[in-house]
Amino acid sequence: MIAIESLSKRYPRVTALDRLTVGVEPGVTGLVGANGAGKSTLIKILLGLAPATEGTASVLGMDVATQGGAIRERVGYMPEHDCLPPDVSATEFVVHMARMSGLPTTAARERTADTLRHVGLYEERYRPMGGYSTGMKQRVKLAQALVHDPRLVLLDEPTNGLDPVGRDEMLGLIRRVHTDFGISVLVTSHLLGELERTSDHIVVIDGGKLLRSSTTADFTQRTAVLAVEVTDTDAHPDGTAALREALRQAGCTPHDPGPAGAVAPGAGHLVTLDLADESVYDTVRDTAAHLGLGLVRMEQRRHQISEVFTERSAGDVA
Ligand SMILES: Nc1ncnc2c1ncn2[C@@H]1O[C@H](COP(=O)(O)OP(=O)(O)OP(=O)(O)O)[C@@H](O)[C@H]1O
């Protein structure tokens, strides 16, 4: 879908992309990096909207330096920032964008109705967008990226500003863009954890450089951590300490609790351990039951982008 070869973008005072080489296959690909990592810059270059300083890139086999117009005909783009005119309705706006992409009026209207329904906008689609919630605006932005039935969409921080429920809904919609319509997706986020469930493949960049590119399964395996919360009992007044010790004896690798001052609020009752494979869940359940501790929750920890950076500084880069 996308081939990027030694791509650099230098602004007078900052290098936004630094000899980046990476490929994007069909499916859903998450592009993850902290704010300022170079994600938006990369998307603008891929759309042919900004020139690279050096290196090459192609999208659907077309050169970004010379075929920007043709790329934009076949690719949908959801920009990061609010860009919707407040005084027109979602329907008017998306029809307009469909017409701009070359669809005849009737087809543009039909596609608009279908696409807005797909993203979950119904009666509200006739109201001016100035009165929309952030979630509704994000849905309209997604709809206009999809309306001309592109082969690939580039989504820049689509979950920005959404609450946890809105975030999950948006991630579900993004997954369905691929499963229902076969459209490939490149989606950016500054949070690694939120794209783990949505993406087949994850590319991490930092300071414009490639940090890692691998399938989500590989990623999860490499960083999987299980967090377990248990109750204290009379027999085990420090339930987490008892569980940690028992898990170690059972052959698991619980992590050291760390210095008291470094423990995050509420983390004092959590034991974290490597999630080597599915059997760890059973071992934790059996161990907690054996000790007579109440098992409050067991969850695979959601990873923050900072953990990837920590791994990198430890020299553990694939
Ligand atoms: N037009 C510009 N002129 C100068 N510097 C720029 C320009 N656009 C981006 N930059 C700089 O390039 C770097 C990468 O920015 P970019 O917007 O691509 O990052 P990002 O990963 O998308 O982050 P964010 O999500 O915060 O937008 C930043 O240091 C930014 O300040």
Mean pLDDT, the chain, whole residue set: 88
Bridge partners of 225, per DSSP, are 274
Ligand 1 binding pocket includes 40 (Cβ within 6 Å): yes
Residue 14: CB within 6 Å of ligand 1? Answer: yes
- pLDDT value of residue 53: 96
> Is 296 near ligand 1, meaning CB less than 6 Å away?
no
Q: First CA to last CA across the chain, in angstroms?
A: 23
Tens digits of per-residue pLDDT, 19-62? 999 999 999 999 998 888 899 999 999 999 999 999 999 999 99
Q: What stretch of H or E contains 6?
A: strand 2-10
Residue 81 Cβ contacting ligand 1 at under 6 Å = no
Ligand 1 pocket, residue 33 CB under 6 Å? yes
> 59 alpha carbon to ligand 1 midpoint, in Å?
21
pLDDT tens-digit profile of 198-245?
899 999 998 899 988 988 877 766 667 888 999 999 999 999 999 999
Closest ligand 1 atom, residue 41 Cα: 18
Looking at the DSSP bridge assignments, the partners of residue 204 are 32, 212
State how far the Cα of 276 lies from the Cα of 80, in Å rounded to an integer. 37
Q: How far is the CA of 40 from the centre of ligand 1 (A)?
A: 7
Half-sphere exposure of 204 (CA within 13 A, CB side): 23
Alpha-carbon distance of 212 to 174, in angstroms, equals: 22
Indicate whether residue 174 lines ligand 1 (CB < 6 A). no
pLDDT of residue 261: 44
pLDDT in tens, the chain (318 residues): 999 999 999 999 999 999 999 999 999 999 998 888 899 999 999 999 999 999 999 999 999 999 999 999 899 999 998 889 999 999 999 999 999 988 999 999 999 999 999 999 988 999 999 999 999 999 999 999 999 999 999 999 999 889 888 999 999 999 999 999 999 999 999 887 788 888 999 999 988 999 889 888 777 666 678 889 999 999 999 999 999 999 999 999 998 876 554 445 455 678 999 888 889 999 999 999 999 999 998 888 765 545 555 555 444 433
Q: Distance, CA 308 to ligand 1 centroid (Å)?
A: 21
Closest CA to 303 of 275, 265, 278: 275
pLDDT of residue 57: 97
**Whole-number Å distance between alpha carbons of 219 and 27:** 16
pLDDT at 190: 86
pLDDT of residue 149: 92
Q: Which domains does the chain have, with CATH numbers?
A: 2-219 (3.40.50.300), 222-302 (3.30.70)
- CA of residue 16 to ligand 1 center, whole Å: 6
What is the Cβ-side half-sphere exposure of residue 60, based on CA atoms within 13 angstroms?
A: 21
From its phi and psi, is residue 161 left (phi > 0), alpha (psi between -120 and 50) or beta?
left
**Cβ of 207 less than 6 Å from ligand 1:** no
Cα 239 from Cα 103, distance rounded (Å): 64
Closest residue by Cα to atom 8, ligand 1, is: 41
Q: Provide CB contacts within 8 A for 46, sequence distance 6+.
A: 2, 4, 57, 59, 64, 71, 75, 154, 186
The answer to whether ipTM exceeds 0.90 is yes
| Pair of tokens at residue 69 | 């117009």
d(CA 228, CA 259): 19
- Which residue's alpha carbon is at the smallest distance from atom 17 of ligand 1? 40
Query: Strand pairing partners for 272?
Result: 227
